[in-house]
Structure 1
């Protein structure tokens, strides 16, 4: 049994972004992906997302569904497909606090998930977030609040520019459990509103400890926040590894 799409609400989505030299990004990406750049920089980081009312699209008339906290380490990418340049994100790893996500991800629906413990305090204005994966490979923490402007050193000059950059990358691919195929998902949203988020502290260990990117090569760029977005995840055809 497989599902082709699921509906729900993105209750909260934090995108933590770092600048990376494209030559280094090339070394950590599998075929056929290459880094998508802006002003000479690749953009890598982690998406921290709370999903609510998640259910198969066939059951979308039901007003309730499951909720979960999730994290996805990803990088903006491009690739060639049937003579056309496509763009999206490549997801190195997904983590979740949902046993169901971990069970069905990569099997019934694209996207393998690892189990993790999450601690979140979200007041609506400020967010304190921490996560540790069960296998101890990933630690993430961030604390901050909504703001009226991006970080001064961001490669993006406006919230409109960063919003457009990520909106055009709705297709996401990640390795399947056997490493034989890149499974694909497309994110469809009824709205696309981002707000700058001022981070007082940020910690992400996966980029350095697992992907072996040195602190010297990573430059913190920005954090943006999305809230209360009706959405649909739709299965895409896989890309062979």
Structure 2
């Protein structure tokens, strides 16, 4: 089992939704509960391009590049050391055959194959993907701005940055109903930029059967670029009622 990966976040777009905790709560496996901000749950989609990813200790030229997506929910849970915070990831998608092959086997995090379309410049980013099994599709376009405007969750970009930096631990659903794979993101250069959402479509969050009208609202987005990163494997977490997309 590979325990640590090194590389770079070339681009990470965090698209965030404000969700009724009474709606999202039943979708979470125990021991998780929604992490609330002013009474609302925070969920979203991470659209991330990774570059130079390789087992820690190997030279950068051996690294691989991939487009990836993760649906995520900010959660809390209790263990013997107290209350912890992180994210629950019901589904991961990727354009990388390698990520599908090793995820959940040689390294934590099972992935589904997807096709990605990306357009980006220094001022604009557009990312879309569709799962090859037809179960999920997302299409988001944003423009870089100087401040975070219109968010009902976060007062400013600093508050948003602190919230997501503290949620560096993630547990992913697997094909074993009672096992969650764990990863922790580590970087010495955490930084985010505010962006304005020009358009956003998500087959998951736009599904009125799962999220009745008024229970979910697109809130804001943040952008990370050119950030060195390591992901460390965590021991699997036992879960009850785990679900995936």
Q: TM-score range by the shorter chain?
A: over 0.9
Partner of 2:141: 143
Secondary structure, aligned partner of 1:152: coil
Secondary structure, aligned partner of 2:57: helix
Partner of 1:185: 183
2:179 and 2:236 in contact (8 A); partners too: yes
TM-superposed deviation, 1:150: 1.7
Structure 1 residue 114 and structure 2 residue 109: aligned? Answer: no
Partner of 1:123: 121
CA RMSD of aligned residues (A): 1.4
CA deviation string 1:66-119 (max 9, x = no partner): 000000000000001114101000001000000000111011100010000001
Determine which of 212, 230, 233 is the counterpart of 1:232. Answer: 230
Structure 1 pair 216/180, CA: closer, same or farther in 2 (3 Å)? same
Structure 1 pair 188/211, CA: closer, same or farther in 2 (3 Å)? farther
Deviation >2 Å, runs of 4+: 61-64, 207-211
Secondary structure, aligned partner of 1:31: coil
TM-superposed deviation, 1:36: 0.6
TM-superposed deviation, 1:135: 0.7
Within 1, Cα distance between the matches of 2:74 and 2:192? 17
Secondary structure, aligned partner of 1:173: strand
Determine which of 208, 217, 233 is the counterpart of 1:219. Answer: 217
1:208 and 1:215 in contact (8 A); partners too: no
TM-superposed deviation, 1:210: 9.8
Structure 1 pair 91/211, CA: closer, same or farther in 2 (3 Å)? farther
Partner of 1:102: 100
Within 2, Cα distance between the matches of 1:168 and 1:51? 21
Within 2, Cα distance between the matches of 1:158 and 1:211? 32
Partner of 2:64: 66
Runs of 5+ consecutive residues of structure 1 not aligned to the other structure: none
Partner of 2:48: 49
1:151 and 1:221 in contact (8 A); partners too: no
What count of residue pairs does the alignment treat as equivalent? 239
- State which drifts further: 197-206 or 210-219: 210-219
CA deviation string 1:48-71 (max 9, x = no partner): 000000000031x34441000000
- State which drifts further: 212-221 or 135-144: 212-221
Structure 1 pair 215/63, CA: closer, same or farther in 2 (3 Å)? farther
Matches within 5 A, 1:144-183: 144-183=142-181
